[in-house]
Amino acid sequence: MNEFENLKGFYDRYPSEWVAWRELVDTVEETAREFGFRELDAPSVEPTDLFRVKSGEDIVEETYSFVDKGGREVTLIPEQTPTRARLVQQRKDLGTPIKWFDTSKRWRYEAVQKGRDREFFQTDFDIFGVESVEADAEIIACAGTIFEKLDVADSVEFKLNDRQLLDALLRGLGVGESKDVMRVIDKKEKISRKEFLGKLEAEGVDRETAEEIDELTAISGEMESALVELSNKAPESEAADEAIGRMHDLYNALSAYGVESMCRFDLSIVRGMDYYTGLVFEAFATESDLRALFGGGRYDDLIGQFGSRDVPAIGFAFGYSPTMQLLKELGEWPDETISTDAYVLTISDSVHEIGLKYAMDLRRGGLKVETNLTDRSVGEQFGYADRINAKYTIVVGERDLNEGVVTVQNMASGDEKQIPKDQVVEHVLNLL
């Protein structure tokens, strides 16, 4: 007999584990709806060329891409941004702002490591059609609110930067072509100061300018004070002054949302060079070696690559696997136990249909209810009620019914109470 296991990087989540995941997903989606994001549903498979537009030919090696039976090159989506760009371009009648979210599975063919899988859940949040700093603040406030609801806001921080600001500072220092220098800056936290300066010089930056870049990109910390320090040290530049002013406006908006304490300014945050155009941010656990929980930013030039019109955009993708690891480390991961509001126990076949009616009336009241589906004895039914963590067991017996009552047992305490048979549903609904 053949025995099969799941593929590496793919996971079986049985009901007892998935109930905890579902609680996390529900928290994220609840927050999205509270902020006015509208849920969409999009394909799991797209033409491979859609991803080549954004990421180039290398995307084929990094994804589950194949030729389908119709001879078309297709890809299991590794992300949803290209799909959303297609959707925005297809519907010119959509009014702005467009605020979308979606939770679904994504796939990447890459090395499996802590917090990074080959099949993974992701919730994408995007605002299309708005250039203002208000959209930037709302995206970050939404992300911050998720961690507040998960009771780990004190253990998470957002590191913010603005690519236009960094570009303006570099040009103010005389760096003409800034992209290669930005790539070096992006690696700064992972290398020594000596290596950092050496890599800058390898990109044609003279030693004195390299040291100035090192000093500027060391500016980080609480946003308001860091921006004041930056204003004092930044080279004279109208573009830099304008970008610093925008970051001040962002800080004020974040303060109005009440999430400014979670945010830090960090000039070394760069993210995707060919993708982001302005604000960029990443979420980190402050006391853990986990990689970034997720990241996002403004990508005003991307949508235009997929059609005839340019549409400003900002968004982030919420990563579940690293957040799950963080919640477990902090003891905030939800209980991995299934729960049931009530189990309807029928003592004999003669009262089975009456038991089913009680069950259906309780379900219509919004409760999770199970009934006896097999020929179990009374003892076995109580054992099953324990196994499914039923809060209450409703014992339906012929003798009790003849006396006009039904027994309701609290499974945690063992206390029993006889309830008039026509008041059972109301009584249990009131208990829960």
Point out the annotated binding site for L-histidine. 79-81, 108, 122, 126, 271, 275-276
Burial class from Cβ neighbours inside 10 Å (0-12, 13-18, 19+) for residue 17 reads: middle
Nearest of 98, 100, 246 to residue 160 by alpha carbon: 246
- Taking only Cα atoms into account, the Rg of the chain, rounded to an integer number of angstroms, comes to 28
Residue ranges of the binding site: 79-81, 108, 122, 126, 271, 275-276
